[in-house]
Structure 1
Amino acid sequence: MSKLRVVLVAAMIGCSLVVGPVPAHADRADGPGVPVTPSGSGPSGLQQWIGANIPAPSLAPAASPPWRELPPELAALWQAVRPAPSGDRIFDEWPGGLDRLAAGNIIEWRDVTATSAPLVVVPISRSVLLKFRTTDASGRPSFGTATLVIPAAAWTGPGDRPVVVNALPINSLGLSCTPSFAMAHGVHSKFNVNDLIPPTTAWAVGRGYAVLIPDHEGPWMAYAEPTVAGHVLLDAIRAVRNMLPAEFAGSHFGMGGYSGGAIASYAAAMLLDEYAPELAGVVVGAAIGGLVTDYRMVAHHFDGSSTSGVLLVVALAMGREYPQILGYMNHLAQWAATSPIKDTCGESNGPLGIVGLPIEVAADIADPLDSNIADEIFARTGLTDRKSGVPLYIYHAATDFWIPFENGYNLYRDQCARGVPAVHRTDPGEHIIAMFTGFPGEVSWIDGRLRGEPAPNECRAGS
């Protein structure tokens, strides 16, 4: 991709960000006007202006995904918005014969102790990168990656060494943004500082627990798609038990995650009974903070706000898993989605929307968040009709301007009503600060589950 193309994309997006929606006046002095279109009857005036003034990007013909036949133009767009290869074949190569493997079967593995040890800080004996069979959001065979970190100190507690499943907030579009890529390659140009803070991995290794770090966005980097994330996390647990049964066949696993990582831990808890029933009793709890459960609510909350960049990035990521979404992107969005934006890492996504770009600017239909395609995706990503297979610890920031408080609290009340032992905490600060203020409570609760203490249940008091 040429530097000129990237500059043009950035300029077009920047102009839209700075000036906002183009005024719908036919007598503008600085150029042709934007026609006014009644809401709901087709593309808005702004969308028509974009379609008339920004040409479509030129995309090379490409094959449809192996699992779905797409129209030629949509197939080319889907291939063009996929994440670029990371340069490491274990993350890049799609294995053959996945349909002949059971979920959680090991495909290959690599020792990454030398590159992982400096990032963990606490002494370790071994770190292993795992590649395993999993299942995508539509039930098709896929693959996942995760890193298992084993402490240097021998386990002296009862039974096999417990495992903390640390679902980090990856929040990214690029394959080299994942925690396992960092564990395999060390600090690099797209390293995510959230791989290290809060220090969940260091804390767990210091307690003698092994740590499993899943790349829960899957091979398409489908950021925030909960079914993909839950499947990858559960299959990573299966993979550890399959690869090292002598060490971990009897281990208990406690899951934790914040924000984007909370989506993975929450989804694994909600999907456990139907997707991995043999792990009942093996997984002993899920601690989740800053969680999104109501995608419709959060999408409307983000739209046109300072967090709109995250919404736009999530929409692109969802299109990788559900290609039908891409058919509603306008030319401006296609330029952006096929630019280097498609490989951004988490720390870049917030600033992308700092001046409040509404999702209307990226779509070719009016009211895209209230459209039929949005209804379909919101239905596919909703897991609140299920009962968690494990006890829950749910916490949320007292003044979270990103994720509405109701997301976590409504989940707590609903799971209480379904008979799940649960705890809810409100921690000081906004979304980012609560990642740290909520950390002690989260790890203390996980520690109790891994030490065999019964899960506390505060449902009567709080629900």
Structure 2
Amino acid sequence: MRSVRVLLCSLLLLCPLAVGTATAEPLPPAAPGILPDLQRWIDQVLPSPIPSGADTDAELAALRAAVMPSPVGDPTFDHWPEGLAELTPGDLVEVRDVTAVAGPLTLVPVRSAHLLKFRTSDAHGAPSFATATLIVPATEWTGPGDRPVLVNNLPIDALGLSCTPGYTFTHGLSLKSSATEFLPPTTQLAVLRGYAVLIPDHQGPRMAYAEPYVAGHAVLDAIRATRNVEPQTYGASPFAMTGYSGGAIATHGAAKLIASYAPELAEVIVGAALGGVPADFEILARSMNANLASGIFMAATLAVGRERPEILAAMNNLGRWVATSAMKDQCVSIFALPGILHLPIDVGANIADPLRSDLAARIYEVTRMEGMRSATPLYVYNGEQEFWIPAEGARNLYQEQCELGATAVYRGVFGEHIVGAVTGYPEAMLWLDERLRGIPAHSEC
């Protein structure tokens, strides 16, 4: 009878454990027997896409290679440059004029758009590379000092290399281009204000969606690369950062890494605004698993595993098949769809109660970046009616930064994730504009 029950649960998706609502309540305890039996049954009937052997390290390395994003046929995005270890983070590898494509897409007059490829660091500090698009307004800067730069950390939220803003600005609109590359019109408003705009592809070459160290390093090194490409223009420019949702992960990571990774930028970056903040993945494990958001949650877990392969080691054969399938190259519009099934992440794991495991606790701790003080003023906002990215995480971040002595402001705004992005946007942009105009930030801690 037990095997029949497990089979029905997996095929009909009617098992109560596979149904959830969007809530941040504490995780319920795992039901004994059912999920471990289902995990074992999956591995018995479904062969692994990666040949198994006595050498588990080699097997994990092969799995990690197989889950990486596929090449897109453009060496700028595909090719790992030689001699990265000899370069300093932020050193330029390539500068590519993309004005002919990016200019019309910006929808406002621009002088130039260049794709910068530069050395950065992965989640463990090893040499890597990233790309970013630098857009310069058509008008001369007439304000005081050098032209300010707004760093627009877009919510890329993707697994494939062709889902990035840099790819769109280089190759044009495609089915994988996201509306969030243009809405809200942060880039356009900044260009009309006379600010240059820097748009990092902050997930890195492994498309490590939701990994804050990768994203933080890429953002900070994009700023370094901009200062390197035209030191006479941007050598004394103020930079401010903004990001919402997935872009807030990058902004959060960058703000906390300034002091340790790029201390010379502490006086250069004048503020960071972040909204809809996924600052604590332990909270998201309660709010995004086994409901309509579970497809996004599973994709983010896979993407973090590209940098932290201990996550991949905890996948069963079903998880491995999904992670090595065409899904590994999709954007959020596709990989969010399995959320319709309300599947819990447990069905793709080989350990019982994976979200309460020691492995999960370690991932929660490292991605929370706890105890790291932002070296730039923060403007944090979140929808008070949020259910998938609860305001609890943003409020905890604000409280943490206050206790660490950072300059910070918090605003709870009306709405859930989409509405909150709209209601919180105007004041966040006004706050950033004041920072770029040289007005000091005041803390509300």
Asked if TM exceeds 0.5, the reply is yes
1:232 and 2:218 aligned: yes
Paired residue secondary structure (1:44): helix
| Corresponding position of 2:444 | 458
Residues 349-384 of structure 1 deviation map (CA, whole Å, 9 limit, x = unaligned):
332212311011000110011112212222221213
Cα distance in 2 between the residues matched to 1:23 and 1:422: 43
| Corresponding position of 1:291 | 277
Cα distance in 2 between the residues matched to 1:287 and 1:365: 38
TM-score of the two chains, using structure 1 as the length reference: 0.88
1:47 and 2:33 aligned: no
Residues 301-335 of structure 1 deviation map (CA, whole Å, 9 limit, x = unaligned):
21112111111101110111012211111111111
Cα distance in 2 between the residues matched to 1:16 and 1:353: 17
Cα distance in 2 between the residues matched to 1:266 and 1:434: 18
Contact 1:40–1:367 (CA under 8 A) maintained in structure 2:
no
Q: Which runs of 5+ in 2 are unaligned?
A: 1-7, 18-29
1:209 aligned residue (195, 198, 202) = 195
1:434 aligned residue (409, 416, 420) = 420
Contact 1:256–1:287 (CA under 8 A) maintained in structure 2:
yes
| Corresponding position of 2:159 | 173
| Corresponding position of 2:242 | 256
Cα distance in 1 between the residues matched to 2:330 and 2:89: 29
Contact 1:329–1:363 (CA under 8 A) maintained in structure 2:
yes
1:218 aligned residue (173, 190, 204) = 204
Question: Compared with structure 1, are the counterparts of its residues 164 and 59 closer, same or farther at alpha carbon in structure 2 (3 Å cutoff)?
Answer: farther
Paired residue secondary structure (2:341): coil
TM-score of the two chains, using structure 2 as the length reference: 0.91
1:401 aligned residue (371, 387, 392) = 387
Question: Compared with structure 1, are the counterparts of its residues 16 and 335 closer, same or farther at alpha carbon in structure 2 (3 Å cutoff)?
Answer: farther
| Corresponding position of 2:411 | 425
What is the identity, as a one-letter code, of the residue corresponding to 2:184?
P
Residues 223-249 of structure 1 deviation map (CA, whole Å, 9 limit, x = unaligned):
000011000000000000011101100
1:337 aligned residue (323, 329, 332) = 323
| Corresponding position of 1:389 | 375
CA apart distance, 1:43: 6.9
Cα distance in 2 between the residues matched to 1:17 and 1:253: 51
Residues 422-444 of structure 1 deviation map (CA, whole Å, 9 limit, x = unaligned):
11112222101211221111111
CA apart distance, 1:19: 2.2
RMSD (Å) for aligned C-alpha atoms? 2.1
Paired residue secondary structure (1:127): strand
What is the identity, as a one-letter code, of the residue corresponding to 1:114?
A
Paired residue secondary structure (1:79): helix
Cα distance in 1 between the residues matched to 2:102 and 2:138: 13
> How many residues are paired up?
425
| Corresponding position of 1:5 | none
Cα distance in 2 between the residues matched to 1:379 and 1:16: 33
CA apart distance, 1:22: 5.7
- Runs of 4+ in structure 1 off by over 4 angstroms are 15-18, 21-24, 38-43, 58-61
Contact 1:127–1:149 (CA under 8 A) maintained in structure 2:
yes
Paired residue secondary structure (2:152): strand
Contact 1:22–1:46 (CA under 8 A) maintained in structure 2:
no
What's the % identity of the aligned pairs? 51
5 Å-filtered alignment, 1:43-82, equals 44-57=36-49, 71-82=57-68
What is the identity, as a one-letter code, of the residue corresponding to 2:443?
N
| Corresponding position of 1:161 | 147
| Corresponding position of 2:352 | 366
Residues 249-272 of structure 1 deviation map (CA, whole Å, 9 limit, x = unaligned):
010000000000001111111110
> More displaced, 241-250 or 320-329?
320-329
Paired residue secondary structure (1:187): coil
Cα distance in 1 between the residues matched to 2:51 and 2:329: 18
| Corresponding position of 2:263 | 277
| Corresponding position of 1:351 | 337
Contact 2:50–2:63 (CA under 8 A) maintained in structure 1:
no
